Structure 1
């Protein structure tokens, strides 16, 4: 029996981000294989689930009150890494034959430390943000140092793989995020009643720019509202913008919603205004539901999924006027009446899971 362990900050319902969705999807796919025992370890408590998981997937909470390094600053972030190290060390020793899937830079650092003490454990590292996203030279050096300790690194795009090779990381495989074929629809019979933003309300995602684009588009004068699905530290700023510009009747803020139908059905378009992106699940899901995507052309995920003028539009970063222009364009209307879902069918689970199984089998054979 092959044991696969994921580690996430939180699998609780108030943490329905893209990484958690990716982990839920992969865990559900892996457990379909009778020779796999799949566990998700959540640092936080899990009173309710972020996403539905198969009954054969084990979910274990470590009940850490301070479960994410974002709750700390400065030297306390380093203390967080060592606290998580101590939490995981006992589990790793007990499950020495497991293959661990790390899901972020801080976890990669923790497992790099663990590998230094227990070189025999098997770890696959992955980062779900773009490799161009830097938090300083020192952190970049540490990230590189610890990635080199892991057995494999999974890159979401070929550009990310080139970056890892450049900094000396070996055993890098490109495996993009994937979605279930059950999400696809092949019709465009929608009312197109609202524009959507789906993502964290945090600086990296720049939700205020999506709100600004909607405001300047004046789509509300045509009866098209904006639904913003998410939560985060920018919430109060978003509320202030809505109030100051008298958009209360046109903008709806929604948190904790993860049902695909509720998010994408009848949507006019998805707005993505991030500084950087890894390989966004929201783009895959949106296009699979025949909802076109308007995104800043930032490294590297959007340009690996969006086919300009075909299933969406890539826009020069921070060019809000161009964003507004595309929201009113005839080209967007022509995309809206087309079946664009087929353009992301290459990313269905059945195609992508094979690459994961290949790595698992290579690790399992190297005992």
Structure 2
């Protein structure tokens, strides 16, 4: 029985994103059920280490650190390959199963390749989606997509977050055994419950938007949101609260200076609990270029907070079509998002 097995959970990212947060939520549940779990965090991820401490999960740090173009390093960087092999060999002697937490197929590719070298059968990839690097707008996408074919085939056990990605994993590796472990969020207590949708549009003077997540234009699309707000027709006062940090934060601050005078952007930084700062907002914006099943979306749904998001990925399974904007090229999506914001503003002020 797996409940009697010792399980190592190896995190691979240097950031604390939605996938890592979801992994920790699942792990807390499994530990309560009696699973014997130990986590291994990259030594250069202090936010993850702090969260593991807060969650009271057993953990150690490791030094197999993420590199730019990691999927290439996973094939040609002998030092990186050796470190991955060394850690897995050590864990193999102490644990029955090893789960690699991969934000995408590149993160942790060294571990997947190392497991193939070592002939390890009980290595599992926990991966949220299977988007191509071309779709994700990654540098050297052609090379990464070519190499990722082999990485997908080097692992035969996967856990993913929805049936769509399960089917895509089997397409990439016909020998793979794939299980779906759906994302979830806890129901808020009554004191933290946001108003229902019908109660939401109450203050007539200001339209309040919130965007939360890693500030990374290539995935999260905060630049698209700013450009869309520049096109909004209404001259009503708009407040945009931005929660998060990331590599494009300074670019976003500079871009926000282009906003018209009726729109104020507030940069709140990274917050452990977004909903402490969301009690008076009208709409959550998710302007992502690609996603899995975003936690901020699930949390907003639990609180009956309206959401504006693109009609793609996990959003299609959860959000009413009235709240989705059409997808296409960057220019098309920018205008579609702007039109959707106008629609919500019009709805609020008519009420």
Q: TM-score range by the shorter chain?
A: 0.7 to 0.9
Counterpart for residue 224 of structure 2: 209
- 1:100: which partner in 2? 99
2:300 equivalent among 286, 289, 293: 286
2:242 maps to which residue? 228
* Structure 2 equivalent of residue 254 of structure 1: 268
Structure 2 CA distance for partners of 1:16 and 1:115, relative to 1, 3 Å: closer
1:40 equivalent in alignment to 2:39: yes
Describe the superposition over 1:75-132 as per-residue Cα deviations: whole angstroms up to 9, x where unpaired.
6985374254145234323324134243241355323323224334512213334424
Structure 1 contact 225–250 (Cα < 8 Å) conserved: yes
> Unpaired segments of 5 or more residues in structure 1?
338-367
- Which whole-Å CA distance do the structure 2 matches of 1:137 and 1:22 have between them? 30
Q: Of residues 9, 13, 21 in structure 1, which corresponds to 2:12? A: 9
Which ranges of structure 2 fall in alignment gaps of 5 or more residues?
A: none
Normalized against structure 1, the TM-score is what?
Answer: 0.75
Residues matched between the structures, number: 325
1:4–1:37 contact (8 Å) kept in structure 2: yes
1:249-306 C-alpha deviation (Å, 9 max, x unpaired): 71012322120322432221122222211221121112222222211223x2221221
Deviation string, structure 1 residues 134-191 (Cα, Å, up to 9, x no partner): 4545433432323333242223333322322223332122333222234784742556
Partner SS state of residue 60, structure 1:
strand
Distance 1:186 1:231 in 2: 24
Written as runs of structure 1 = structure 2, the 5 A alignment for 1:1-367 is 1-10=4-13, 15-34=15-34, 36-45=35-44, 47=46, 49=49, 51=51, 56-63=56-63, 67-70=65-68, 78-79=76-77, 81-82=80-81, 84-86=83-85, 88-103=87-102, 104-107=104-107, 109-134=109-134, 136-169=141-174, 170-182=176-188, 185=193, 187-188=195-196, 189-190=199-200, 194-202=208-216, 203-217=218-232, 221-245=235-259, 250-298=264-312, 300-309=313-322, 312-317=323-328, 318-329=332-343, 333=347
Larger relative contact order (Cα-Cα within 8 Å, sequence gap ≥ 6): 1
